[in-house]
Structure 1
Amino acid sequence: MINDPAELDPAGPEPIELAPALLERMAAVRAAALRTLDSDEPVYGVNTGMGNLSKVRLTEADQRAHQRNLLLGRAVGGPPWLPPDESRAVLIARLKTFLTGDAAVSVDLIHQLVALINSPYTPAIPAEGAGSAGEIIPLAHAAGPLVGIGWLQAGSELQTAEGFLPALELGPKEGIALLAGTPGTAGRAALAARKASRLADHLTAVAAGAIAVVGANRDPYQPSAARGDDVLAVEFARLRELAGPEPEPRSLQAPVSFRVAGHVNAHVRRTLQQLDDAVERAFTGVSDSPAYLEGDFVGTAGFHGIDLAAYCDHLTAALAHAAEVSTARLHRLLDPSVTGLTAQLACEPGPQAGLVAVHKRAVATTHQLRRLTLPTAISTAETSNGQEDVQTFSWEAVGNLAEAIRLTRETTACELLAVRQAFALSAGPIPPGLRDLIQAVDDVVPPIDADRPFGEDLTRLLTTVLQLSPATGA
C-alpha cells in the first residue's frame, strides 16, 4: 500500500493501492483549491482559454465542458504506439505527480487513474509527434480513456475506451492537470534507466569475456590506473573479477577496443546515474502549471523538460559509443592475429564463413545508433501562434534512448555469440566469474560447428540471456 508518492515505481509491474491517509490529504488539497477558485480570479486553463487564447475568459457553462474538451482537441497523434510497459510507466508517473498535491485533482480522478493502471489494458499513446512545449499530445491520449476517449491496447489488439471505466466528469482544473508537465518523459526515462542498468551489467560481462578469451594484458584495468575516479575503479574491479586470473599476455598491448572497456562502461554508468538524478528531480520538483502552491495557483515552467532531455541524450550517446567499441572488439575476435584462433571463428575457414556476417549486422546496428545521437533540445520551433516559442522535444529524447537501449543490446548479443565461439575453439578454461553467463548461452545456443542462420541464435540470446525486463522478455 502506497503511503507516499516516492514509493511509486514507474518501472514496477505490481498493482497499486493507495493508503487512506494519502487520499485524505489529496481530498483536503482539492477542497482548498476549489475554495481558491471560487474567487473568480483568472486561472490559466480553468476559467480561461489555453495558449494564445488564454486572454479569453470562459463562462460557467464553457468551464463545465472545457476540461474534457482539452483532451478531445489535443489527441491528434496516431500509431506507432508506445509499448505497454512504457504506456504504463507514463500513467504511474502521472499518478506520482498528482500525489504531490500540486495538481489539486479530486480523489475520484485519482481512483479512476489507479483503476486504469491496475487493469490489463494500457492507453494507446503515440510514440511520435509531441511537437509542443510540454507533452499535451501524448498526454491527451494517455488520459483520454479515463473519460471514455480514445483507444486501449492489450498486446497488439486495440479496443475503444468508451465505456471501459465508470463514467467520470472532470471537474475544475482536472483536464489541464492531466496535460501538464513532463510525466511521460519522466516515467519512460525511469523505465529506460532500469533497463540501461541491466544492460550496463551485460556490457561489462561480455567485455570481460572478450578480454579473457584473447588473453589481453590486464595492465589497463589495474586499480592504480583509476586514480581519482571511483566509478572507474569499481568498473576495473568488475572486469578483473569476471575475466579471471591473467594468463601470459598474447601481446604487450591488446587492441584499443579491449583496453578502453573499463572507461567506456564506467561512462555509461556515470551517465545512467545522472539520468536517475534527473528523474528524481522531475518527480520531486514542481511540474504542474498552474500549480497549487501555498494556497494559490501559480503558473510555472515545469513543462520544460530540458533536464530530462539532456540526460537522455547523454546516455544515448554513451550507449552508442559502447556499442561501437563492442563492435570493434567483435571484429578483432574474428582476427587470428588477435585471438590465435581460426579466421572468423569458423571451424573450417574457407568452406565456412564463420561469424563474419554477425559482425556485419553489428556494424549496421551501430550505424543506426549514430543517427540517434543528435541532441534533441536544439530547436526553437514555435507553436500556438508564438505563445510556445521554444521546446525541448524531451518526448523524442526519451524515445531515442529506448531505441538506443534496444540497438545496444543487439551489438552486445553479437559480441557475446563471438565470445562463446572463441571459448569453444580455444578449448581453454572459462574463468569462474563467467561460467554462469557462458552456461546461459549454452542453454539456448547449440555448439557452432558449421555455418547456419545465426540470426536465430542472436534472437534467443536477446530474449533469454540478455533480457532487460524479466516479465516481458524485452
Structure 2
Amino acid sequence: MIKEPSDLDPAGAEPIELAPALLERLAAIRAEALQTLGSGDPVYGVNTGMGNLSKRRLTDNEQRRHQRNLLLARAAGGPPWLPPEEARAVLIGRLRTFLTGDAAVSVGLVNQLVALINSSHVPAIPSEGAGSAGEIIPLAHAAGPLVGLGWVTDGADVRPAAGLLPPFELGPKEGIALLAGIPGATGRAALNATRARRLADHLTAVSAGAIAVVGANRDPYQAVVGRGDDVLAAELTRLRELAGPEPDPRGLQAPVSFRIAGQVVAHVRRTLQQLDDAVERAFDGVTDSPAYLDGEFVGTAGFHGLDLTAYCDHLTAALAHAAEVSTARLHRLLDPTVTGLHAQLARDPGPQAGLVAVHKRAVAITHQLRRLTLPTAISTAETSNGQEDVQTFSWEAVGNLGEAIRHTRETTACELLAVRQAFALSERPVPPGLQPLLEAVDDVVPPIDADRPFGDDLTAILTHVL
C-alpha cells in the first residue's frame, strides 16, 4: 500500500495500490485547482496554446478537446521501443510526480495510470528522439494508452492500445500534466541505479578474483590507504576480505590495473550515490509546469534536467573507466609473466588459442563505451520556433547510462571467465568469499579443456550469473 510518493520504487515489479488517505488528499487539491481555473485567468497549456503558441487563448470548445489533442501530434517517435521494465519505470516516475499534488490531476486519472502500470502491458515508448526542453515526445507515447491512443506491448508483441483500459476522458490541465517535467528520465535513472549497484558488487568480486589468482601483493588494499575517504576505505576492505589471505606475492608490485581496483570501484560507488541523490531531488522537487502551488498555478522550469543529466554522464564515465581497467586486467591474466600460468590461459598453448579472443571482444566493448562518454548536455539546439532554445537531453543521458551498464557487464563477464579459467589452471585455492561466485559460473560454464565458441559461455554468465 503506497502511503507516500517516496514509497514508489521505479525498479519494483509488484502491483501498486494507493492508500485512501493519499487519494483523498489528491481529490482535495484537484477541487481547489478547478475552482482556481474557474476564474478564467490565463493558465499555460490549459486555456492557452503551448510553446510558441502560448499567446493564443482557447475557446471553451477548444479547451474541451485540447488536453487530448496535446497527446496526438507530440507522439512523433517510433521504434526501437524501450524494454518493458524501462517503460514501466517511466509510468511509475509519472505516478510518483502526480502523487505530490503539484499537477492537480484527478483521482480518476491517477487510478487509470495505476491500472496501466498493473496491467500485463506497457506503452510502446520510443527509446530515442526526445529533442525538446523536457521529454514530451516519449511522454506522449507513454500517456496515449490512458485514453486509448498509441501502442502497447507485453514484451513480445506490439498492439493498438485501444480497448486495453476502460474509456477515460482527460479533464482540464490533465493532458499538459502528463507531458510535464522529466519523470521518464528520472524513473529510468532510478532503475539504472539499481542495476549499477548490482554491477558495482560484481566489479568488486571479479577484481578480487583477479587479485587472488595472480597472487598480487595486498599492500594497496589496506584500509589505511583509504584515509580521508570512507568510500575508498570500505572498498579496499571488501577487496581484501574477498581476495583472502595473502600468499607469498609473485612480485613487489602487481600491474597497475590490479593495484587500482579499489579506487576504480570506489569511484563507481561514489558517483552512483550522487545519481541516487539527483534522482531523489528530481522526484521530490517541483517539476510540473504550470504547477499548482499554494493555491495558484505557477510556471516552472522543472523540465530542465541538468542535475540528472550531469550525474548520469558522471556514472557513465566511471563505468567506462572501470571497463577499461577490467579489460587491462584481462589482458594481464593471459600473460604467463603475470600469472605463472599457461599463455592465454589455454590448456595447450599453440594448438589452442585460449581466451585471447575473449579479450578482443572486451577491447571492442570498451571502445564503444568511450563513445558514450561525451557530455550529453552540451547543446543549444532550438525547437518550438525558438521558445525552447536550450536543452539538456536527460532522456538521452539516461539511455547512454543504460548502454554503459550493459557494456560494463559484458567486460566484467569476460574478466570473470578468465578468472575462473586461471583458478582452474593454477594451484591457488579459491578464497571462501569468492566461492559462491565461481560456483555460479561452474553451474553454467563447463570446464575449459579446449578451444570452443566462448561467446556461448559469456552469454551464460551474463544470463545466469551477473
Bin for the TM-score computed over the shorter chain? over 0.9
Distance 1:29 1:143 in 2: 22
Q: Secondary structure at the match of 1:297?
A: strand
The match for 1:25 is 25
Counterpart for residue 37 of structure 1: 37
SS at match of 1:14: coil
The residue identity in structure 1 corresponding to 2:344 is Q
Are 1:231 and 2:231 matched, yes or no? yes
Runs of 4+ in 1 over 4 A off after TM superposition: none
- In 1, the alpha carbon distance for the partners of 2:311 and 2:9 equals 19
Kindly indicate whether residue 398 of structure 2 is the aligned counterpart of residue 398 of structure 1: yes
Amino acid at match of 1:229: D
User: Which amino acid is 1:347 matched to?
Assistant: R
> What is the letter of the counterpart of residue 224 of structure 2?
S
Q: Answer yes or no: is 1:136 the counterpart of 2:136.
A: yes
CA distance in 2, matches of 1:147, 1:368: 40
Whole-Å separation in 1 of the counterparts to 2:137 and 2:224: 52
1:386 paired with 2:386, answer yes
How far is 1:312 from its partner?
0.3
Give the counterpart letter for 1:394 in structure 2.
Answer: S
Match for residue 262 of structure 2? 262
C-alpha separation between the residues in 2 aligned to 1:101 and 1:359? Answer: 52
Equivalent residue number for residue 288 of structure 2: 288
Deviation at 1:399, TM superposition (A): 0.1
Q: Which amino acid in 1 is paired with 2:437?
A: L
Question: Aligned-pair distance for 1:12?
Answer: 0.3
Please state how far the C-alpha of 1:224 moved relative to its aligned partner: 1.6
Tell me the alpha carbon deviations over residues 379-401 of structure 1, each in whole angstroms, 9 at most, x when there is no partner: 00000000000000000000000
Indicate yes or no: 2:445 matched with 1:439. no
Distance in 2, matches of 1:418 and 1:219, equals 24
TM-score normalized with structure 1 length: 0.98
> Which residues in structure 2 correspond to 1:58-77 (within 5 Å)?
58-77=58-77
**Structure 1 position 159 matched with structure 2 position 124:** no
Identity of aligned residues (%): 81
State how many pairs are aligned.
466
How far residue 119 of structure 1 moved from its aligned partner, in angstroms, is 0.3
Matched letter for residue 191 of structure 1? L
**Structure 1: how far apart are the matches of 2:157 and 2:140?**
20
- The answer to whether structure 1 residue 15 and structure 2 residue 12 are counterparts is no
Q: SS in structure 2 opposite 1:74?
A: coil
Deviation string 1:125-146 (CA, Å, 9 cap, x unpaired) is: 0000000000000000000000
User: What's the offset of the Cα at 1:106?
Assistant: 0.3
Deviations 1:212-267 (A, max 9, x none): 00000111111221110000000000000000000111011000000000000000
* Secondary structure, aligned partner of 1:257: helix
Give, in whole Å, the separation in 1 of the partners of 2:426 and 2:73: 64
Shift of 1:269: 0.1
Q: d(CA) in 1 for partners of 2:83 and 2:164?
A: 20
Cα deviation digits, residues 319-350 of structure 1 (max 9, x gap): 00000000000000000000000000000000
CA distance in 2, matches of 1:370, 1:19: 46
- Match of 2:48, SS? coil
Shift of residue 163 of structure 1?
1.6
Question: What is the one-letter code of the residue matched to 2:434?
Answer: L
Report the equivalent of 1:53: 53
After superposition, residues 305-454 of structure 1 pair within 5 angstroms as 305-454=305-454
**Which AA in structure 1 matches 2:129?**
G
* Matched residue SS, 1:72: coil
1:107 is aligned to 107
Opposite residue 301 of structure 1, the aligned amino acid is A
Structure 2: tracts of 5 or more residues without a match? none
Aligned-residue RMSD, C-alpha: 0.4
Is the counterpart of residue 302 in structure 1 residue 299 in structure 2? Answer: no
- Once residues 434 and 162 of structure 1 are traced to their aligned partners in structure 2, the CA distance between those partners, rounded to angstroms, is 51
Give the Cα separation in 2 of the matches to 1:161 and 1:432: 52
- For each residue in 1:107-136, what CA deviation from the matched residue of structure 2 results, as whole angstroms up to 9, or x when unmatched? 000010000000010000000000000000
After superposition, the C-alpha distances for 1:34-77 in whole angstroms (9 at most, x for unaligned) are 00000000000000000000000000000000000000010000
> By how many angstroms is 1:155 displaced?
1.3
Distance 1:165 1:298 in 2: 32
Match of 1:457 in 2: 457
Residue 203 of structure 1 pairs with residue 203 of structure 2: yes
For 1:92, the aligned partner's letter is I
For 1:331, the aligned partner's letter is H
Partner SS state of residue 292, structure 1:
strand
CA distance in 1, matches of 2:219, 2:429: 21
Q: Tell me the equivalent position of 1:469.
A: none
Distance 1:48 1:223 in 2: 61
**Residue of structure 2 equivalent to 1:214:** 214
What does residue 179 of structure 1 align with?
179
Report the alpha carbon displacement of residue 428 of structure 1 after superposing the two structures with TM. 2.0
The Cα shift of 1:156 comes to 2.5
